[in-house]
Amino acid sequence: MRQNENLKFLCDTALVDYRFVTITPSTGKVAYTTAGELPDAITTGDADNGCVAVHLLQDLSKSFYFESGGTIAAGNYVDVGANGVGVVHAAGKVACVAKEAAVTGSYCTGYVNSIIPLSDVGAPGAGVTADESISVGYHRTVLTVSSVLPAIAGGANLAVGKLVYTLPVGIRTVRAAYMSMALDTAGANIPADTPDVGIGITIGSGVVNVLSGTPAFENLITGQTAADCNGTATVASITNQPLIILAADAHTVYFNVADGWAAGGDAACPIAGTIILEWA
């Protein structure tokens, strides 16, 4: 017995080649994937006598062509657009990665680099950029942070936080996290402060000098004592947690700090560094 290169399915409409489609197992039919949703396959020819040949996207050994519905750059994540064409990822679920550049109406080579089709990516916070990839079936999100903390009045205990990422909706699992983050004050008030710094799904707040009083302030990376607020990075990681985030839970990720701050504080202390999350 030999496995066919492509599979043929029934179809109700005159589908054309190189479009994303969804399979309905109960009927054995395919149709263009709804815009923004995950496809099952890509057509490899035009419909003929109510049938069409498709390439399953779970077949990671081969690349495939898809028709572009807009301008796409090499390396862009691709969503499904109207009538099964590929468009640059926006708010939909990622169907594939573009191997090359394309324009409207041209054919582009795509590939899927995961054991399962890529799903939604999250949204970085202001002053944060995100590089998204797949690592052994998990998202690997590398965040480059160049931002500032909320105002620190100084002369008292205080926790503050900065939104760095928002995970997509639904049940999520964060299995590992890493940070190399520095506070680098431009003023003369707090450079010698050694705050407690960590990562959690709730923004740091309140009259506290450590993060441990509220578990969600540091449930991704436990608070670490920074060497200073003068540019020295605090490095920490955690693996195989995992942290389960239910659909109704907060999906936000914050870099949090807490300290008994020196008098004068800092109205906008700069922060910079890298945070890495592995999640599904």
178: domain CATH number? 2.60.120
- Would the CA dihedral through 54, 56, 61, 62 be positive or negative? positive
So what's the pLDDT on residue 243?
93
State which residues form the domain around 75.
7-111
Instruction: Tell me which of 90, 111, 132 is where a domain ends.
Output: 111
H/E/C letters for each residue in the chain?
CCCCCCEEEEECCCCCCCCEEEEECCCCEEEECCCCCCCCEEECCCCECCEEEEEECCCCCCCEEEEECCCECCCCEEEECHHHCEEECCCCCCCEEECCCECCCCEEEEECCCCCCCCCCCEECCCEEEEEEEECCEEEEEEEEEEECCCECCCCEEEEEEEEEECCCCCEEEEEEEEEEEEECCCCCCCCCCCEEEEECCCCCCCCCCCCCCHHHCCCEEEEECCCCECCCEEEEEEEEEEEECCCCCCEEEEEEEEECCCCCECCCEEEEEEEEEEC
Residue 117 domain flag: no
In a shared domain, residues 177 and 223? yes
In a shared domain, residues 186 and 226? yes
Residue 1 domain flag: no
Q: How many domains does the chain have?
A: 2
In a shared domain, residues 198 and 129? yes
In a shared domain, residues 132 and 254? yes
So what's the pLDDT on residue 167?
95
In a shared domain, residues 153 and 214? yes
In a shared domain, residues 42 and 74? yes
In a shared domain, residues 228 and 163? yes
In a shared domain, residues 139 and 23? no
So what's the pLDDT on residue 217?
98
Residue 128 domain flag: yes
In a shared domain, residues 96 and 159? no
Residue 2 domain flag: no
So what's the pLDDT on residue 58?
74
Residue 190 domain flag: yes
Dist CA 262 CA 266 (whole Å): 9
In a shared domain, residues 260 and 195? yes
Instruction: Tell me which of 111, 144, 160 is where a domain ends.
Output: 111
Residue 116 domain flag: no
So what's the pLDDT on residue 2?
42
So what's the pLDDT on residue 132?
80
In a shared domain, residues 93 and 48? yes
In a shared domain, residues 85 and 138? no
Instruction: Tell me which of 57, 89, 111 is where a domain ends.
Output: 111
Residue 118 domain flag: no
Each residue's pLDDT, cut to its tens digit, for the chain (280 residues) gives 344 467 899 998 889 999 999 999 899 999 999 998 889 999 999 998 899 999 988 776 788 999 999 999 998 888 899 999 999 987 667 888 899 999 999 999 998 865 444 556 789 999 999 988 766 567 889 999 999 999 999 999 999 999 999 999 888 999 999 999 999 999 999 999 999 999 999 999 999 999 999 999 999 999 999 999 999 999 999 987 789 999 999 999 999 999 999 999 999 999 999 999 999 8
Residue 36 domain flag: yes
So what's the pLDDT on residue 115?
43
